[in-house]
Amino acid sequence: MEHMKIRTRGGRAVRRAPRLAAVAVGALVSFSVVAAPANAVPLFPGGPDIPLPALPALPPPPELPQLLPPFVPPEPEIGPANFATPSINPSAGETVGVAQPVVVRFDAPVADRAVAGRAIRVTAEPAVDGEFYWISDSQVRWKPFEFWPAHTSVTVRAGDATSTFRIGESVIAYADDDTKQITVSVGGEVVKTMPTSMGKPGHETPNGTYIIGEKHRDMYMDSSTYGVPVDSPEGYRTYVEYATRMSYSGIFVHGAPWSVAQQGVTNVSHGCLNVSNEDAKWFYDTFRKGDAVIVSNTDGGTLPGWDGLGDWNR
C-alpha cells in the first residue's frame, strides 16, 4: 500500500504527495511523447526513443606533399691518372655479348696499380657490381661478378679516355661432351642444337666458359702456330670456313665437312668444335664478340683464366 504524508489544515486532512508525483510522471511522459521523432531509436530495450544527431560532413583530406626522390650520394671524384691515354676495349659505340670484359691497355707499364685503379671508373645502367683484375703492368680488366644483363649501357673512363658501349641480347652456347651436342640459347630460349666433334684423346677440349673473340669467313688452321710442325704426325695446315674464335690458344667453332660422320658420335678434332659448314655459318652469323660458350664433361681440364678469352675461369 502506498504511503503518504498527511497534514491537517484547519482540521482537514490533506493528501499532497501522490498527486504531485502523478503530475510529475504525467509531465515526463507527456514530454517524451512530444519530443520523440518518427526515426528515433530506443536508448536501451524498452527504453525511451532517443533521436540520433546528424553528423557534420568531414572536410576533404589535405593534399599530401610530393615525396622527394631517395638521396643518392655523389660519386667520388675520379683520381689523377699516372698513365698516358690508354686504349679501351670495347670501343665506343660497340655492341658486345654478355660475357665481354672491359680491357684497358697502357702504352707503358704502370708503376703504381693502386693509383691507376683510382683513375679508372666503370659505370653501368642498370648498375652492375664487378671487379678489377690485372693481367700485367700494362693491362687491367674489369668484369661483372655474373654475366652482364642484356641491353646494359656501359661507360668506361680511364684517365682522359672514355668509351661507352652496349651489351646485346644474351647469346650462350653449351657444348656437352657427354651428348656431343652444342645447344644455343638466345634470350634464355633454346633456338638451335647441332652435333659436334671435340678434341680427340691427347687433344681434349678444356672445360669452362669461353668468350667469343674475332671471326673469320675462312682461314687456314696451322698446327705450327702452337708449336706442332705441319709435317709432323700430328701436324696439319687445313683450310676451313666460318671460323669463330673462342680461345687465344687456338680453339674455334668452324666448319669441318671431313668429320660430319663423327659429329655427335665421337671426338676427332685437335681441340676445336667441329660442326658442319651449314651449322658453322649459322654460328658465325649468330654469335658476336663477347658472347659465351660453356664447355662441359670433357677430360681436358679447364681453360685457364690467363688464356685471354678465359676470364670467367679465374
Establish whether the linkage from the previous residue to 90 is cis, with ω within 30° of 0: yes
The residues that are catalytic are: 254, 272
Task: Give the separation between CA 132 and CA 110, rounded to whole angstroms.
Answer: 15
Nearest Cα residue to 262 out of 272, 251, 249: 272
Contact indicator for 180, 197 with CB cutoff of 8 Å: yes
What dihedral angle (degrees, nearest 10) is formed by the CA atoms of 123, 94, 161, 313?
Answer: 60
Q: Tell me the one-letter amino acid at 80.
A: P
DSSP, res 269: B
Instruction: Write the single-letter amino acid at 284.
Output: Y
Beta bridge partners of 183: 174, 193
How far is it, in rounded angstroms, from Cα 174 to Cα 184?
6
- The grid coordinates listed for 309 are 678469352
The three-class DSSP label of residue 282 is: helix
Please identify which residue in the block is written with the cell numbers 633454346.
190
From residue 128, alpha-carbon distances to 103, 149, 168, 169 in Å are: 17, 8, 15, 16
Contact by Cβ (8 Å): 99, 292: yes
All cell numbers assigned to 55: 553528423
Angstrom CA distances, 16 to 4, 9, 21, stand at 8, 12, 9
